């Protein structure tokens, strides 16, 4: 027998893959599966439940783990696996890529790293790992929560002899969005306004591109579903969508709302709307880090007036200071104290559209061109001009104090003058040289 200390052991000319752990000192020893046992002495280094080499012979025998660093046992070693824990979320987008039970807590800080139903009873001691009411011994799939196949958090089929808490029984089994239409008859299972036939993920409650089946935060409120009292709460009003008659909080009951996830009622679902609350401030400028939460220093992308001073965030000079409001018509009087916000000569109390800057009969909240300059507000915001000032358009002359004056496509006056002077100077020098040569 010829032995190699690299990747294979040759036994009777047959290559058998083995693993050889590099020597590690206690100071540098790793604990890859976060079970508190350092790898050199851990009988199951990746924590997948399969012993690595119980007989210590250095070979992969039947029933032993041939991939001791393959957390999800998909045949791809962890260092090459783009989804180490096999939860459907790529490592680069997974805040906890080594979180076995998908409760939002990484193994090294999770008191119960293997607790699939998050009931604080480790799976090894839990007789019902998925908490579906069926004992694991009698459950053909003890970790799939099969009693709730539509994934809405309610028990579809009660198990005989297992009592249900009030409100735990699903009134619409097989109805993912609880809109009263069974999924097999519903052309939009998650009620996101996109027909299932065109929806890449027809069951993606928060439209974040991660299907609910593998999403650890279904409503994208920053609280892991395992610790969230309302894991399906689209408008974050504290009422789970299954109990909420108005999921997007727009004032139109879901049963009559053609787009129940359209906060500003502009006919464009939140998923594709760049300004969900229509406050003239893009969602990307409100939720700057894109984490789905309103952090310190941010305005809310689903609340037109974050500071509650009566002025939409996009028109408010201090959208996080309720004591400072905007001045829509620029008359020097804050809108909260102005009897005619848009300066059209009609008092707000008598004005059908008190915030209609260009007085075209289309209120600013729905007007694609608030200042009536012929350029859509979205185009102006992207170009950097003011969508609420008719004199400010993309490419127009800007005379803002402290800035160079721009002409046309953005050529500054300074640059233009410099260019003219350079040409003039070059011409004078050329004339002098010509005269000398001629003389």
Please give the C-alpha separations between residue 77 and each of 61, 70, 260, in angstroms, as whole numbers: 19, 5, 43
Q: Which of 111-115, 278-282, 434-438 has the lowest mean pLDDT?
A: 434-438
* Residues 190-202, mean pLDDT to the nearest whole number: 73
Which bin fits 404, alpha (ψ -120 to 50), beta or left (φ > 0)?
beta
Q: State percent of the chain over pLDDT 70.
A: 41
Report the pLDDT value the prediction gives residue 35, as an integer from 0 to 100: 64
The DSSP-derived string for 346-384 is: S-GGG-SSTT-TT-SSS-TTT-SSTT-SSS-HHHHHHHT
- Cβ(309)–Cβ(322) under 8 Å? yes
Over residues 165-184, the pLDDT tens digits come to 444 444 444 566 666 676 66
Please tell me the distance from the alpha carbon of residue 103 to that of residue 215, in angstroms, as a whole number: 10
Mean pLDDT across the chain, nearest whole number?
A: 66
* Residues 102-115, mean pLDDT to the nearest whole number: 65
Report the pLDDT value the prediction gives residue 428, as an integer from 0 to 100: 60
> pLDDT: is 152 or 388 the higher one?
388
Place of tokens 């709307």: 273
User: Residue 275: pLDDT band by 50, 70, 90 thresholds?
Assistant: confident
Report the pLDDT value the prediction gives residue 92, as an integer from 0 to 100: 82
Task: Please tell me the number of Cα atoms within 13 Å of 347 on its side-chain side.
Answer: 4
Looking at the whole model, is its pTM more than 0.85?
A: no
Report the pLDDT value the prediction gives residue 405, as an integer from 0 to 100: 38
**Whole-angstrom Cα Rg for the chain:** 32
Please tell me the distance from the alpha carbon of residue 348 to that of residue 394, in angstroms, as a whole number: 31
pLDDT at 28 over 70: no
User: Residue 421: pLDDT band by 50, 70, 90 thresholds?
Assistant: low
Query: Which of the listed ranges 100-104, 112-116, 414-418 does the model predict with the highest average pLDDT?
Result: 112-116
pLDDT at 356 over 80: yes
User: Residue 332: pLDDT band by 50, 70, 90 thresholds?
Assistant: confident
Mapping DSSP to helix (H, G, I), strand (E, B) and coil, where does residue 407 land?
Answer: strand
Enumerate the domain spans of the chain. Answer: 1-113, 275-326, 338-377
Helix then strand then coil, % of the chain, to nearest 5: 15, 5, 80
* Residues 2-26, mean pLDDT to the nearest whole number: 40
Report the pLDDT value the prediction gives residue 398, as an integer from 0 to 100: 41
pLDDT at 375 over 80: yes
Task: Please tell me the number of Cα atoms within 13 Å of 325 on its side-chain side.
Answer: 17
pLDDT at 90 over 60: yes
Report the pLDDT value the prediction gives residue 409, as an integer from 0 to 100: 40
> pLDDT: is 376 or 165 the higher one?
376
Report the pLDDT value the prediction gives residue 141, as an integer from 0 to 100: 58
pLDDT at 300 over 70: yes
Over residues 203-247, the pLDDT tens digits come to 676 666 676 666 667 666 666 665 665 566 666 676 766 666 776
Number of other residues whose CB lies within 10 A of the CB of residue 274: 13
Mapping DSSP to helix (H, G, I), strand (E, B) and coil, where does residue 317 land?
Answer: coil
DSSP state of 170: -
pLDDT at 37 over 60: yes
């Amino acid at each position: 027998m010829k032995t190699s200390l690299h990747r294979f052991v040759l036994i009777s000319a047959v290559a058998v893959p083995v693993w050889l752990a590099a020597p590690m000192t206690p100071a540098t020893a790793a604990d890859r599966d976060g079970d508190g046992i350092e790898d050199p002495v851990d009988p199951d280094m990746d924590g997948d439940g399969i012993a690595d080499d119980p007989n210590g012979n250095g070979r992969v025998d039947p029933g032993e783990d041939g991939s001791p660093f393959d957390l999800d046992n998909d045949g791809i070693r962890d260092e090459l696996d783009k989804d180490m824990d096999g939860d459907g979320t790529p490592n680069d987008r997974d805040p906890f890529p080594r979180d076995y039970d998908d409760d939002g807590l990484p193994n090294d800080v999770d008191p119960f790293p293997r607790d699939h139903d998050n009931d604080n009873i480790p799976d090894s001691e839990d007789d019902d790992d998925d908490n579906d009411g069926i004992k694991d011994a009698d459950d053909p799939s003890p970790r799939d929560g099969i009693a709730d196949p539509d994934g809405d958090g309610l028990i579809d089929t009660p198990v005989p002899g297992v009592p249900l808490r009030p409100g735990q029984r699903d009134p619409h089994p097989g109805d993912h969005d609880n809109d009263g239409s069974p999924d097999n008859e519903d052309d939009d299972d998650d009620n996101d306004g996109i027909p299932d036939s065109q929806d890449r993920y027809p069951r993606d409650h928060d439209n974040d591109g991660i299907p609910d089946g593998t999403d650890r935060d279904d409503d994208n409120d920053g609280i892991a579903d395992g610790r969230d009292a309302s894991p399906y709460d689209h408008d974050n009003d504290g009422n789970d969508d299954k109990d909420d008659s108005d999921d997007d909080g727009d004032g139109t009951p879901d049963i009559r709302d053609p787009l129940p996830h359209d906060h500003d009622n502009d006919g464009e679902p939140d998923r594709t709307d760049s300004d969900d609350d229509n406050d003239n401030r893009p969602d990307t400028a409100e939720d700057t880090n894109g984490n789905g939460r309103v952090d310190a220093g941010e305005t809310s992308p689903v609340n037109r007036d974050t500071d509650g001073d009566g002025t939409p965030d996009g028109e408010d000079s201090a959208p996080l200071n309720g004591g400072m409001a905007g001045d829509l018509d620029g008359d020097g009087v804050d809108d909260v104290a102005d009897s005619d916000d848009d300066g059209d000569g009609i008092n707000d109390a008598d004005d059908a559209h008190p915030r209609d800057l260009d007085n075209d009969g289309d209120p600013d909240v729905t007007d694609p061109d608030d200042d009536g300059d012929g350029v859509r507000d979205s185009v102006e915001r992207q170009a950097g001009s003011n969508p609420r000032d008719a004199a400010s358009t993309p490419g127009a002359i800007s005379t803002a104090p402290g800035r160079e004056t721009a002409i046309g496509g953005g050529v500054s006056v300074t640059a233009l003058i410099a260019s003219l002077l350079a040409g003039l100077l070059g011409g004078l020098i050329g004339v002098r040289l010509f005269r000398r040569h001629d003389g």
